[in-house]
Structure 1
Amino acid sequence: MLQELTIKNFAIIHDLNLSFESGMTVLTGETGAGKSIIIDAVGLLAGGRGSNEFIRHGESKCVLEGLFSIEDNQLTYELLNSYDIEMEDGTLIIQRDIHRNGKNVCRINGRLVNIATLRLIGETIIDIHGQNEHQELMNPERHLAMLDQFGDKELHRLKAAYGTTYAAYKEVKKAYDKWQNSEQELAQRLDMLQFQVNDIEMAELGDHEEEELLEEKNLLMNYQKITAALSGSYDALQGEENSGIDLIGQAMSEMSSIEDIDGTYKLLSETIANSYFQLQEAASDILREMDQMAYDENRLNDIEKRLELIHQMKRKYGDSIAEIKSYYEKIAVELLQIQNREDHINHLIKELNTLSEKVIQQGKTLTKKRQSVAKQLEAAIHEQLKELFMEKVVFEVQFFNGKAEPTLETAREIGLDHVEFYIATNLGEPLKSLAKVASGGELSRMMLALKTIFSKSQGITSIIFDEVDTGVSGRVAQAIANKIYMVAIHSQVLCITHLPQVAAMADHHLFISKTIVAERTETHVEALAEPQKVEEVARMLAGTEITKLTLEHAKELRELAKNQKTKQLN
């Protein structure tokens, strides 16, 4: 739920910090005071479209920040994990800065995110319904998803199983279509693969051949330098005149004659002796290296040619011999498949037939379950509409594939079904598409009915109603107030309203007004105590002049609301 909201330099709001509670909170006040501006700010934190027109006149940017408690919202947690956004104590801090130059900076728990990511995560924690915002109901493409949302675990299990099978079917179908290309294309591909396979095979590349060749080339190219160094070293150690080893041997003899006199001399004698024998061994190794050294110009040329071949192969098939071999294995398999095209296509056809039957079978099972869930949804909607004084309205979930035999051509990743909500608003009228015939007031009540049903399972932590009660009064107004409160039992609800019946049902009441500060209009928000709540309900009942009778009526409304809330909680 939304716990804290900070707004700076946004429209007519200079600097505002609001705290929110769970349950139902109403926002009331005079027209133009900034009620919808506050809701707009929350909408931007949920990834709504931003504009520099929101920035307060004379300022370079506006800053919006919201602190949310996401409680046990599993979908939000999964999304945060997928974007590597860390969480602490189940709280989420969303910040959005909109600059005069049009730049938007969005952060979630301090992590920079783009607008698309902000919107994706925001949709899981905030649900805003405005007076004309009933997109889900107006879009038949969304009706199937709404039906599935109402379904139980069994429906979701069947849907997941179908989705896995359908994805496998599409993968095999894609492979099959690829093999159904023209014979000319396959022939060209066959020639190219055959050439590449032969080319790589003829090269006979060794796993570490390039490194070994480069090492040998380096030795041959430095032949003179190496032989000169070896010869000089050997002469210094074992030469005919002033042999280094002979001199050290002399020192060893001298020290061995006194090593029994003192321990220090013994250590020195051993050190010199070790050096003498090590140098003798080194001299032997140098002599052996000199004997093995031979310069072969033809070998150097062979190495150069071989390295050039490897370079050409790398340029054509990969950045290393390992990559070339990996590519060879891949094209060898494809070549074999093309050479055995008929066998491979027959295998794909067999697999495709098996998956096709499974898609239809699982799709039919899913359809049957959805039809059962649809009857339950229809009954639940009728019950809700009856309480909203729309008892004459008939609501039906229509399946357009229910009578015809389903085919793979009509199958989708979500199932075989094409579903749309239909209603008849008056007795005796035929059922028609909800999106085409419902009026604004009917859509508002239909949306409230659905929201009441779905609020338990939807997982949205904050639901906002922006004047969805416009154009109603009397007993319908009271019914809408009851429904909004029922939604607030399971989710935090923020509601802008002009109806006293709705305001009377609120757990918390914020009054929005305009003040003049330094010749600038600013929005002021006040959390009302009980006496002030009664006065505000009275103002909404009577208008500008509040009488004693109006106050008594407002108190009565509040008492009736308390009784109604107690009844709904029980």
Structure 2
Amino acid sequence: MLKELTIRNFAIIDYLSLSFEEGLTVLTGETGAGKSIIIDAIHLLVGGRGSSEFVRHGEKKAEIEGLFLLDGSDHPCYEKAREVGIEVEDEMVVLRREISSQGKSVCRINGKLVTLSTLREIGSALIDVHGQHEHQELMNDRFHLGLLDQYGGKEVQTAHDSYLDLYNEYEETSKQIQKLNENEQQMAHRLDLIQFQLNEIQKAKLVLNEDEELFNEKEKLSNFEKLFDALKTSYESLQGEQKGLDWTGLAMSHLETAAEIDTQFEKILEGVSHSFYILEDAARSVSAQLNQLEFDPERLNTIEARLNEINALKRKYGSTIEEIIEYASQIEEEIESITNRESRIRQLDEKIASLQKDLRLEGRNLTSIRKKWAKKLTQKILAQLKELYMDKTVFDVRFLPTKDDLFKSDGMDNVEFYITTNPGEPLKPLSKVASGGELSRIMLALKTIFSKHQGITSIIFDEVDTGVSGRVAQAIAEKIHQISVHSQVMCISHLPQVAAMADSHLFIAKKTSNGRTSTSVTKLEIAQKISEIGRMISGVEITDLTKEHAKELLQIANSIKNT
């Protein structure tokens, strides 16, 4: 849910800080007070198109920030955030967007700078803004198959996963065939090239980690004189007359005498004796190393030539020896594939035929399951529309004809929602429905069903109840409240019935101070709520009768919510 929203210097808003609750929040107020401006700000916060016109006159930039609370670790926002490397902690996401007076946008998610497309991707999992003429996914036929699959849940997902595994193998095999069927002259040139590359790599006879070992040996030979002097000085400091071992041996001899006189010196003697023998071993080891040291300038030249050869291969085929060897393995397979092209194509053609057969079976099974769920969805939507006094409506989840071998990643189906609201009229695509009042009710019926499946944190309705009144208005109010049971809902409305159903009621007003207009927001208590609903019922003048009517609407709303 959207928990907190802060807006600065946006249109006629100088500063607003709002806190939202779960359930249904209704925003009301006079026309032009700034209700839609708040929704516009939220829309921009989740990736909507920005413009310098949104920046308050005389200010350098507009700022919008929102805190969202996620419900559980399975929220789709987590996966989207992981894909772009954003950490989500304590089930909280903070979105921030700044728009400069030059029209430039700066977007952040949990403090990390992101592109507008990333903000839009994450925002789409958090908020669904639905205006009177904004169909979005529910009204766009490209998304209808996905919505049906969401409704079908695990059964559809399992069937789709089985199909998708085969489809991915089918696509990969098709690409291999296409590659082998390329122009023969191009294939011959390709074969010459990769054969030369393979010969060059094989001729080098690379060994894993060889470059590291050679580099260490080169460092040793390049610093031979320095190494020799260091070892020689070390040895001479330990071994010889009046050197380290002589003095340590002398100390040990005198400590032996002291220990014979007083046993408390035995421990010191033991330590010095131990050190003497360690130094003696070290001196022998240094001497052995000095005897083995030999400067070979030819070896240094050989190492440098070998490293140059390896580096030349790295520039062509990979940044490490392991990558070069792996590349050689890949082109070796490709050479074999091209050399045995005809037999390889026959093998792949046989594989494709087998995969097509299996894909048809899996695809038809997926279609069968989808059609079963389509019937259930149709019944569910018709039941919702009946509650919205559209009982004459005919709705159909239509499976459009497709070619038998037209395999897609989402199956073999093209699905589109069809509807007619008038008896005797033919069914038409949902996207072609034009009546504002009917469109609002159809959308609400769909939202009531799909809000449970889409996982959207918050849904915003911007005057979707325009063009309805009477019993239909009451039905719409109840439907919006039903949606708010599963998702936080914010709604701009001019209907008193919708306002009465609100769990939280915000009144939006304009005020003028120092010659500047700004928007204010007041959270209404019960008495203020009665007055505002009364104003929505009667218009300008609020009478005792309209207040009684407002109280009655609130009582009805509470009764409905309690049941």
Per-residue CA deviations over 1:209-240 (Å, capped at 9, x if unaligned) read 65666677778888999999999999x89xxx
Change (3 A) 1:56 1:259: closer
Aligned to 2:178: 177
Aligned to 1:195: 196
Per-residue CA deviations over 1:62-99 (Å, capped at 9, x if unaligned) read 22222222223621233334445444443333332223
Indicate conservation of the 8 Å contact 2:245/2:280, yes or no. no
TM-score, with structure 1 as normaliser: 0.85
Over aligned residue pairs, what C-alpha RMSD do you find?
A: 3.7
Pick the aligned partner of 2:531 from 532, 535, 538: 535
Q: CA deviation at 1:480?
A: 1.4
Aligned to 1:121: 122
d(CA) in 1 for partners of 2:219 and 2:314?
A: 21
Per-residue CA deviations over 1:279-322 (Å, capped at 9, x if unaligned) read 99579748845xx8586x87777666655544544444444544
d(CA) in 1 for partners of 2:559 and 2:513?
A: 42
Change (3 A) 1:476 1:167: same
Per-residue CA deviations over 1:261-282 (Å, capped at 9, x if unaligned) read 5569x97997999699779957
Per-residue CA deviations over 1:464-517 (Å, capped at 9, x if unaligned) read 111011112222222211211221222221111112222222222211111112
Q: Which amino acid aligns with 1:58?
A: G
Aligned to 1:407: 404
Instruction: Determine helix, strand or coil for the equivalent of 2:389.
Output: coil
Per-residue CA deviations over 1:512-569 (Å, capped at 9, x if unaligned) read 1111122211212222222222221221122112233323333333333333333xx3
Unmatched runs of 5 consecutive residues or more in structure 1: 238-242
d(CA) in 1 for partners of 2:314 and 2:516?
A: 71
Q: CA deviation at 1:184?
A: 1.9
The structure with the largest alpha-carbon Rg is: 1
Instruction: Determine helix, strand or coil for the equivalent of 1:412.
Output: coil
Aligned to 2:329: 329
The correspondence of residues 330-345 of structure 1 with structure 2, limited to 5 A, is 330-345=330-345
Q: CA deviation at 1:188?
A: 2.0
TM-score, with structure 2 as normaliser: 0.86
Change (3 A) 1:229 1:382: closer
The correspondence of residues 498-517 of structure 1 with structure 2, limited to 5 A, is 498-517=494-513
Change (3 A) 1:348 1:499: same
d(CA) in 1 for partners of 2:275 and 2:499?
A: 103
Change (3 A) 1:176 1:519: same
Q: CA deviation at 1:334?
A: 2.1
Aligned to 2:98: 97
Q: Which amino acid aligns with 1:563?
A: S
d(CA) in 2 for partners of 1:342 and 1:476?
A: 69
Percentage identity across aligned positions?
Answer: 51
Change (3 A) 1:362 1:323: closer
Q: CA deviation at 1:425?
A: 2.5
Aligned to 2:8: 8
Change (3 A) 1:94 1:253: closer
Aligned to 1:240: none
Change (3 A) 1:498 1:333: same
Aligned to 1:521: 517
Indicate conservation of the 8 Å contact 1:130/1:465, yes or no. yes
d(CA) in 2 for partners of 1:286 and 1:511?
A: 89
Change (3 A) 1:186 1:557: same
Change (3 A) 1:304 1:46: closer
Change (3 A) 1:178 1:262: same
Aligned to 1:67: 67
Indicate conservation of the 8 Å contact 2:228/2:290, yes or no. no
Per-residue CA deviations over 1:391-414 (Å, capped at 9, x if unaligned) read 22211111112xx6x423x22111
d(CA) in 2 for partners of 1:195 and 1:66?
A: 59
Indicate conservation of the 8 Å contact 2:378/2:396, yes or no. yes
Q: Paired residues, what number?
A: 555
Q: CA deviation at 1:332?
A: 2.1
Instruction: Determine helix, strand or coil for the equivalent of 1:30.
Output: coil
The reply on whether 1:465 has 2:465 as its aligned counterpart is: no
Change (3 A) 1:544 1:171: same
Q: Which amino acid aligns with 1:96?
A: R
Aligned to 1:80: 81
Aligned to 1:550: 546
Aligned to 2:470: 474
Instruction: Determine helix, strand or coil for the equivalent of 1:152.
Output: helix
Instruction: Determine helix, strand or coil for the equivalent of 2:182.
Output: coil
Aligned to 2:262: none
Change (3 A) 1:129 1:232: closer
Change (3 A) 1:305 1:558: closer
d(CA) in 1 for partners of 2:167 and 2:312?
A: 44
Change (3 A) 1:135 1:346: same
